[in-house]
Amino acid sequence: MRPYFFFLIILSFLSCNDEPTQDVQINIIPVPAELAISKGHFKLNGFKTFYIDESFNELKFVFNQLANFRESESKNGADLKLHFDKSLAAEAYSIKIEEDEMNIRASDSKGMFYGLMTFRQLVDQHPLKIPCLEIKDQAHFKYRGMHLDVARHFYPVDFVKQYIDLLAYYKFNYFHWHLTEDQGWRIEIKKYPKLQEVAAYREETLIGHYTDQPHQFDGKKYGGYYTQEEIKEVVAYAESRQITVIPEIEMPGHSLAALSAYPELACSRGPFKAATKWGVFEHVYCPTETTFQFLEDVIDEVIALFPGPYIHIGGDECPKTSWKESDFCQQLIKHKNLKDEHGLQSYFIQRMEKYINSKGKSIIGWDEILEGGLAPNATVMSWRGVEGGIEAANAKHDVIMTPTSHCYFDYYQSTSQKEPLAIGGYLPLEKVYRFDPIPAELDEEAREYILGAQGNVWTEYMPSQEQVIYMAFPRAMALSEVLWSYPSERDYGDFVARVESQINQWDAKGVKMANHLYEIKLEMESIGGGVVRVKSKPLPVGCALAMQDSLGNYRKDGVFNMTGPSTFRVMQGNEFKGEELRLNPSAHLAFGSKVSLKYPPHSKYEGFGATSLVNGISANPKAYSGNEWLGFDGKDMVLSIDLGSVKELSYGSIEFFNSPDSWIYPPTEVMVEAAADEENYFPILQKKVKESSNKHMVVELPLRTFEARYLRVRARNHGMIKSGQGEGNPAWLFVGEVVL
Ligand code: ACM
C-alpha cells in the first residue's frame, strides 16, 4: 500500500500589499495529498496563455471551460505550462503556482487530466488571482465510481454528459450506467427492434411512495432509449474525461421490460408488460438456449459500443418462483447436477461470464452472484452490506464496495420533513465521509482485492434531472474524497468548509446541490419534572448550537432544558448558519417524564431511545425515518413512565406506523397498567387495535379517570408475517409519541 502523505503547510509571512496567506482557503475536493500555500498570487486579469506538451493534445478541450486561456505556440513566456514529466508516477500530477508562471506536470493523460481538474477548481474558486501554492497528488483507490439508473427514470444525453462532467470534476474514473430494468430498456439493440419499440416504454408510473396504499398511477406512457450513436457519443465524452463507462445489462432478474417485448424469453407464457411500479418481479429470464442466444446477441452489440474492460450483468434480486414452477428449469437442474435454483442462477451467470470472457471482457455482478457459486473471474459489487465483499475478497476476487449503509445516494440525506420524497433510509453526508471501503476483518492480502467503492443513484423517486443532482451531490464529493485521499485523518469540519464553497460555486452557475451542512441534529434526554435535556450532535468546526431565550437572545449553553416551545440555531461566531429549528412540544402529562424501555429498539431505529416517546414531538406521518420513531424488530414496546408525582389521568393516545409492504405492522393490542408505587401495577386498559389502511395510526386510549404516578404502556407486536412481503419473518413495530 502506498504510504499516505498529508501536509498542509501555510507559510505565514506578511507583506504590505498582500493579504495574510493564512486567510487563504483552498477548497479543493478531493483534498490533495500534499498542499503548500505560499505568499503571493498569480493574477488572472485579461487573457492568459497556455502551452501544452503535444503528448497531452487530447486534453486541450478542457480549456473550453477556462474561457480566458489561449494557446501559446511557444513554451517560453506562456503563463501556464503543461509538461510531460516522466519522473512522476502513473496518474499522479503536480502543480506549482508562482507569481509569474504556473506549471502542471504529469507522466500520462490521466495524471494531467486530474491536474487540470484541480487547476479548474482553483480558477473557479479564485477567478481573479490564484494563490501561490504547490500541490503533489495522486489517487489512492483504483476504482472511484458513480452509478446512474436511467431505467426507472430516463434522462437525456445532455444530462448524462453534465453528470459525467461533475464526476470528472471530482476525479471519479468509472461511470456505471444502469441501462435495463423491469420498468424500461434504454439501449438500442439493432437485432431486437422490439426492445426499442416495446421494452423502452411503460404504460404509466406509480404516484407517490410504493408504500402508499392503494397504489395510484399517473396514466401517462413513459419511456425512451439511447440510440447506439448516442451511446457512442456519451462513451467518447466520458473517455476524454478519463472516465470508463460500465454498461449494466441486468440478468436473470429485473428483466420484465425485455420480456414484454420478447415473452418467449420467460419460463411461462406472457403477455408481460414493463413494470409501472417499483420493486422486485417474479417473471425473469428462463435459462433456455433461446434466452442465451438473445443475451449473447445483446452482449455482442454492447461490447462493440463500450471499449472499457467491464460488462456489468446485474445478478441481483432474482426471485426463483418461476424457475421452481418450470419443468424445463427443474429438468435443467437435474441434468446439470445443480443443487437448486441458486445453483441455476450460478450456472446462468457463469455461462454468461464465459461468453463475455471469450470476447476479452470481464463481468461485474451484484453480491447475489456469490450464492450458489461465484463465477471464476467475476468482480463483485457488494451492496447488501460489506459481507459479500469480504467473502469475495477472501476468495481472491476483485471487489467494489457499494453498501446501502454508506453508498446509496437514493436514501434521505436529511431528517427534515421538507425533503423531497425518497425511497427511505438515512444517509447523511458525514456518514458517507466516514466510510471505510476496507473492512477491518480483511487481512493484508485480501485488502488488495478491494478496488474501491461506488455511489449508487437509483432513480425510482427522481423523476427530474434536478433531483438526481440534489441527491447525488454533495454526497458524491464525500465519496470522492474517501477514495482519492484515503486514509487521511478525516477532518469533517474542514471538509464541510470546502463543500460549502463548492456548493455555492455551483449554485451561482444554476446547479442546485443539497445543502444540509449546518442542519441541526439534536440529542435528547427526558430527565423528569417536565424537562427534556437537549444537546447538539457534533457540528462543523467553529460552530455551536444556540437556543433562543425568553428575551429573544441566542445562548450557546451547550446543554439546554426544553420545557416548552424552543428555537435553535447553529452559530459560527456571531453568524447564523443553516436554518433555524423550531420545536413545539405538546405539553401532555408524560412530556419530559422519566422513562425506560423493557426491550431496546433496533439499533437502526433507536431515535433518542425512550425519550422519543415522551418528548412532545409527533413522528413523521409519511415515513418511518427520523428520531421520533422507534422501531422494534419482532418485539413488543414496553414503556415505563414515572410522572414524578401522583397525577390524574383520563386520556391517552399512541402513534404507530403501518406499512405492511415494509414489514411494519401496527400492534395487535395496547395495554396500560398503573401503580402508585413501582411494584403493584393494576390494569387500566386493554384495547385491541383494529386493522387500518392508514400509514400513520393514532390509537386512542379511552381511560377511565384514575390517579397514578407510575405507568406501564405495552404495545403487542403483530408477530410473524403470515403472507405478502416479509412472509415468515417477524413484523416490525414502529412507535411514535405516547401522549397522556
Ligand atoms: C440493488 O440495489 N438491487 C443492487
Per-residue pLDDT tens for 677-689? 888 899 999 999 9
Does residue 366's CB lie within 6 angstroms of at least one atom of ligand 1? Answer: yes
Q: Is 491 in the pocket of ligand 1 (CB under 6 A)?
A: no
Residue 211 has pLDDT above 60, yes or no: yes
User: What domains, with CATH codes, occur in the chain?
Assistant: 10-137 (3.30.379.10), 143-268+280-508 (3.20.20.80), 522-583 (2.60.40), 594-739 (2.60.120.260)
Using most ligand atoms within 8 A of CB, pick from 181, 317, 407 the residue to mutate for ligand 1: 317
> DSSP state, 449?
T
Which grid cell sits at 303?
461490447
In this prediction, residues 130-149 reach a mean pLDDT of 98
What is the pLDDT at residue 733? Answer: 98
The radius of gyration of the chain from alpha carbons, rounded to an integer in Å, stands at 29
Ligand 1 atom with the smallest distance to the CA of 456 is: 2
Say how many Å lie between the CA of residue 420 and the centre of ligand 1. 21
Q: What angle do CA 182, 183, 187 make, to 5 degrees?
A: 90
Beta strands in 315-438 (DSSP E): 362-366, 379-382, 399-401
Do 412 and 625 contact (CB within 8 A), yes or no?
yes
DSSP letter (8 states) at residue 195: I
Which pLDDT band, with edges at 50, 70 and 90, does 16 fall under? Answer: very low
Q: What local confidence, expressed as pLDDT, does residue 571 receive?
A: 96
With a 6 Å cutoff on the Cβ, whether 323 touches ligand 1 is no
Probe target for ligand 1 pocket from 182, 316, 461, with the most ligand atoms within 8 Å of CB? 316
Instruction: Quote the ligand 1 centre to 578 CA distance (angstroms).
Output: 33
Cell of 171: 476525479
Show Cβ contacts of residue 325 under 8 Å, excluding neighbours closer than 6 positions.
267, 268
Residue 316 CA, ligand 1 centroid: distance in Å: 6
The verdict on the CB of residue 317 being under 6 Å from ligand 1 is yes
41 closest CA partner among 62, 72, 15: 15
Predicted confidence band at 15 (pLDDT cuts at 50, 70, 90)?
very low
Ligand 1 centroid–CA 131 distance in Å is 44
- Atom of ligand 1 at shortest range from CA of 383: 4
Q: Whose CA is nearest to atom 3 of ligand 1?
A: 316
> What is the rounded distance in angstroms from the CA atom of residue 92 to the CA atom of residue 110?
8
Atom of ligand 1 nearest to the CA of 254: 3
Contact between residue 284 and residue 266 where contact means Cβ atoms under 8 Å apart: yes
* Closest C-alpha to 147, from 409, 427, 436: 409
Quick one: pLDDT at residue 6? 37
> Quick one: average pLDDT of 271-279?
97
Closest ligand 1 atom to the C-alpha of 458? Answer: 2
- Stretch 540-565: mean pLDDT, rounded? 94
Bridge partners (DSSP) listed for residue 702: 651
Closest ligand 1 atom to Cα of 402: 4
Query: Is any atom of ligand 1 closer than 6 Å to the C-beta of 710?
Result: no
Q: What is the DSSP string of 196-226?
A: IIIITEES--EES-TTSSS-EE----EE--B
Q: How far is the CA of 315 from the centre of ligand 1 (A)?
A: 9
CA atoms of 680 and 213, how far apart (whole Å): 43
**Scanning the structure block, which residue is given the C-alpha cell 419499440?**
197
Contact 273, 303 (CB under 8 A): no
State in Å: Cα 730 to ligand 1 middle.
23
For residue 698, the CA-to-ligand 1 centroid distance in Å is 34
CB 570 within 8 A of CB 544: yes
Per-residue pLDDT band for 540 (boundaries 50, 70, 90) equals confident
Q: What is the mean pLDDT of residues 164-179?
A: 98
Q: What is the pLDDT of residues 324-342, one digit of tens each?
A: 999 999 999 999 999 999 9
Residues 117-146: b if buried by 16+ CB within 10 A, e if exposed: bbbbbbbbbbeeebbbbbbbbbbbbebbbb
Query: Is the C-beta atom of 316 inside 6 A of ligand 1?
Result: yes
- pLDDT at residue 648 above 70? yes
State whether the beta carbon of 280 lies less than 6 angstroms from ligand 1: no
Among 176, 423, 458, say which to mutate for ligand 1: greatest number of ligand atoms within 8 Å of CB: 458
Question: Using one digit for the tens of pLDDT, what is the confidence trace for 344-367?
Answer: 999 999 999 999 999 999 999 999
Q: How far is CA 325 from CA 246, 282, 329, 639, in A?
A: 34, 11, 8, 47
**Is 383's C-beta closer than 6 angstroms to any atom of ligand 1?**
yes
What is the CA angle 69-114-245, rounded to 5?
115
Cα–Cα distance, 654 to 589 (Å, whole number) = 13
When pLDDT is averaged across residues 630-646 and rounded to a whole number, the result is 97
Q: Record the cell numbers describing residue 587, joined without a space.
A: 405539553
Residues in Cβ contact with 39 at an 8 Å cutoff, skipping those fewer than 6 apart: 11, 13, 15, 18, 21, 132
Quick one: DSSP state of residue 692? -
pLDDT for position 17: 41
The phi and psi torsions of 235 (rounded to 5 degrees) equal -60, -45
Span from the CA of 256 to the centroid of ligand 1 (angstroms): 16
Residue 11 pLDDT more than 90? no
Q: Find the 481 Cα to ligand 1 centroid distance in Å.
A: 24
**pLDDT at 7 > cutoff 50:** no
What was the pLDDT predicted at 22?
A: 54
Edge-first strand order for the sheet with 48-52 is 7-10, 34-43, 129-137, 93-97, 102-106, 80-84, 48-52, 69-71
Q: How many residues does the chain have?
A: 740
E-state strands within 461-617: 522-528, 531-536, 543-548, 554-555, 559-562, 566-572, 575-583, 594-597
Distance from residue 222's CA to the centre of ligand 1 (Å): 22
Q: Is 472 helix (H, G, I), strand (E, B) or coil?
A: helix
Residue nearest to atom 2 of ligand 1 (CA): 383
